[in-house]
Structure 1
Amino acid sequence: MSVAHSEPHPRRRFVRAWLLIVAALVFATAALGGATRLTGSGLSIVEWRPVMGALPPLSDEAWHAEFAKYKTIPQYQEVNRGMSLEAFKVIYWWEWGHRLLGRVIGVAFLLPFLWFLWKGWIEPGLRLRLWTIFGLGALQGAVGWWMVTSGLAERLSVSPYRLAFHLTLACTIFAMLLWTAQRLKPRDGIDLPPRIRTRAMLLLILVLAQIYLGALVAGSRAGLIYNTWPLIDGALVPDVSRLFFERPWWRNFFENTLLVQFNHRMLAYAIFALAILHTANVARASRGGAALTGALVLASLITLQAGIGILTLLHVVPLGLALLHQAMAVVTLAVAVIHAERVSQRRAATADIMRPLLSS
């Protein structure tokens, strides 16, 4: 049984299109951030200037000044000593582009949002949600700089803890934008058992958690070792003494590269199994339709992403495969969001969020 919804109001379409554009920008920024990390470019700009930093060096003198600042940090002194100015420009442009996209997102979100508020197109419930997203976006900018500072004094790269937080926060913002945009799309509701809705939400949460674990793998460079599959360190399950040798014990989950990679593998297996089970349950309960299509697409993407991850590991993290693996993680998250929102019970909320539009 389904519940019909009215045709979309033109103003609602504008708001939804705006949210989708911002979500696409967040996706692009996450992908560019992955390229920045994988090319070793993330520490090339050693200052945080939210406004004036939008301008790149515009003269030869300015380029030499930026290069001189980079020469003061450990990464240059111990890894890139002797780097030419032209080589520095390459890594600088990666980081500058990543930061510029972050600034573009802020403008692309805030200006239309203020205009929609001024026109009275957004009711209080949605208004609070959007202010929350904006606040998280501002926090993300600060977290990005906080992450960079971890590699400016003693480390040769950024902290895995901060990198994982930075990527996970970006993906959370992306998921919130996409979920909110989907809520503004009038469709028929889907009558499904509660357990299916619960599993769809669980898949969404686990995909986000897997992105966090993947960021820990990337930040700790755990993908550069134990490059075998299905065995890891010569076994399906490594010896406990090797998984938990750090003290205190909880540090192993973040700093023991064997356990970090093992956890990423195990959660991948769990997500794959849950996706197959979920698809079978939806097939029995829905007899086709959007819910089954979403479950099938999600399960297929999870399978594909697992395969890409295995290839990335076996080939010792080549740039192309690593970039594809991170981008596909966000694509998988997007499909998980769309599917979970589509089968959720709160379909009636769609009409309430933008009621002022329908009465104007």
Structure 2
Amino acid sequence: MISNPAQLRPIALANWLFFVAAMVIVMVAVGGITRLTESGLSITEWKPITGAIPPLSEAAWQAEFDLYKATGEYKNVTGPAGMDLAAFKFIYFWEWFHRLWGRLIGLAFALPLAWFWVRKAIPQGYKLRLVALLALGGLQGVFGWFMVKSGLNETMTDVSHFMLSLHFLTAMLTLGALVWVALDLRQFARGNKRMAHWTATASWVGAVLFLQLLLAAWLAGLNAGLASDSWPLMQGRFIPEYDSSRGLLYAMAHDPYLIHWMHRWWAWVAVAALIVMARRVRTIERKASVAIHSAFGTQIVLGIATVMTGVSLWIAVSHQVVGALLVAAFVWAAHLLGRRV
């Protein structure tokens, strides 16, 4: 049944999606803290429902700690460093909160979606898109568990940086999709029922940005931010020494020094691409151009500060959050270009 136009609530739907997008950005911050505090392997089981409740007794805490002691991270890193139950509770909190926030995002999306659906407030052509967003969020949770599982054995001291990149990039895709659909709904409310198109400019700039985000995820997964505390040189050289014994391609995906270097300098390619996009949207909506410039300018400063402070927790987390804001600004600009097609 086609909804009565009087029942449609495109602005309410758009504001809801922007709110969920803001929750995803907070999730990026919490995920960054979880990663930087080495908290990700503290919960060794995936319990979608009962896992929302943390241990409530000392016996329950000890049982969780014992499960963690079976991991390679504890046996080879945190155990020899003298981790006790109090320290375990700290890292457990961040992984628990990370998962809890994911559950809250799911509820913040699923419950309003059901309400809007029952009220016939969703415009024609948007139901499938909203269900796809819900499925994408669920997939993000599945990828998160597989990421954790990749580090739960006696030989690994960390999660797979490939699985971490899949988890992170899915989050960025979800964020971008939320913003895109919300912008379409705002246009719908203004009387423009034609959805924006993905343009050639969005494709090539998006590809450049995607590679930078991929390198960022690999860098985080390999703790490669610690490969250098100087800028612009690394180890006193422009190109640092790296392990090339298994070939250049292997090193480009596994060596922390080379990945750090690629992330550091591909950033300038991304900046150039974003400047081109910003110039093209400036005549359409200047605020979007300002948002892009502000985001990548802040991101560069925070990136350099992260390196030179030896990966200070809050600077590094801020770097990740501004990266998410940059993705949102890119999607805004891409949407503006897509309205003219």
Distance 2:278 2:117 in 1: 40
Per the alignment, residue 352 of structure 1 pairs with none
Answer with 112-121 or 52-61: which moved more.
112-121
1:270 matched residue in structure 2: 269
Q: How does 1:204-243 map to 2 (within 5 A)?
A: 204-237=206-239
Aligned to 1:355: none
Is contact 1:208-1:333 (8 Å) kept? Answer: no
Distance 1:57 1:281, change over 3 A: closer
Shift in CA distance, 69/281, structure 1 to aligned 2, threshold 3 Å: closer
Cα contact 1:246–1:256 (8 A) shared by 2: no
CA–CA distance in 1 between the matches of 2:206 and 2:272?
14
Taking the aligned partners of 1:124 and 1:113, their CA distance within structure 2 comes to 14
Runs of 4+ in 1 over 6 A off after TM superposition: none
Aligned length: 328
> What is the aligned-residue RMSD (CA, Å)?
2.6
Aligned to 1:245: 244
Q: State whether residues 278 and 333 of structure 2, in contact with CA within 8 Å, keep that contact through their aligned partners in structure 1.
A: no
Partners of 1:164 and 1:110 lie apart in 2 by 26
CA deviation map 1:199-243 (0-9, x unaligned): 3554344334322211111111221113332234544356xxx66
CA positional deviation for 1:125? 2.4
2:103 maps to amino acid? R
Q: Which structure 2 segments of 5+ residues have no match?
A: 1-5
Q: What's 2:175 paired with?
A: 174
Given residue 26 of structure 1, which amino acid in structure 2 is its aligned partner?
V
What's the TM-score, normalizing by structure 2? 0.87
Q: SS at 1:145's partner residue?
A: helix
Q: Secondary structure at the match of 2:45?
A: coil
Deviations along 1:164-207, whole A, 9 cap, x unmatched?
11111011101101111111113598xxxx9xx64355434433
**Residues 112, 33 of structure 1: alpha-carbon distance in 2 compared, 3 angstrom cutoff:** same
Secondary structure of residue in 1 paired with 2:311:
coil
- 1:1-360 alignment to 2 at 5 Å? 11-81=9-79, 82-123=82-123, 125-153=125-153, 154-186=155-187, 198-200=200-202, 202-237=204-239, 245-247=244-246, 249-282=248-281, 286=283, 290=285, 292-345=286-339
Counterparts of 2:156 and 2:72, CA distance in 1:
7
Q: 1:346 to 1:50 in 2, by over 3 A?
A: farther
Give deviations 1:281-312, integer Å, cap 9, x for gaps. 555xx2xx62x331132123212211211121
Question: Counterpart amino acid of 1:273?
Answer: A
- Counterpart CA distance in 1 for 2:191 and 2:106 is 33
* CA distance in 1 between partners of 2:119 and 2:281 (Å): 42
- Structure 1 pair 213–19 and aligned structure 2 pair: CA distance change class (3 A): same
Amino acid paired to 2:273: L
Q: Which amino acid aligns with 2:295?
A: L
Give deviations 1:46-73, integer Å, cap 9, x for gaps: 1010111011111222111111111111
**CA positional deviation for 1:345:** 2.6
Partner of 2:3: none
Is the contact made by 2:205 and 2:270 (CA closer than 8 Å) also made in structure 1? Answer: yes
Letter in 2 for 1:11: R
> What residue identity is the alignment partner of 2:162?
Y
Shift in alpha-carbon separation, 1:54–1:269, aligned structure 2, 3 A: same
DSSP-derived class of the 2:233 partner: coil
What secondary structure is seen at the aligned counterpart in 2 of 1:46?
coil
Alpha-carbon displacement from aligned partner over 1:130-178 (angstroms, at most 9, x marks no partner): 1211111111111111110111102111111111111110111011011
Q: Deviations over 1:241-279 (max 9, x none)?
A: x66825365322210223212221232111212233444
- Distance, in Å, in 2 between the alignment partners of 1:79 and 1:235 is 30
Distance 2:159 2:133 in 1: 25
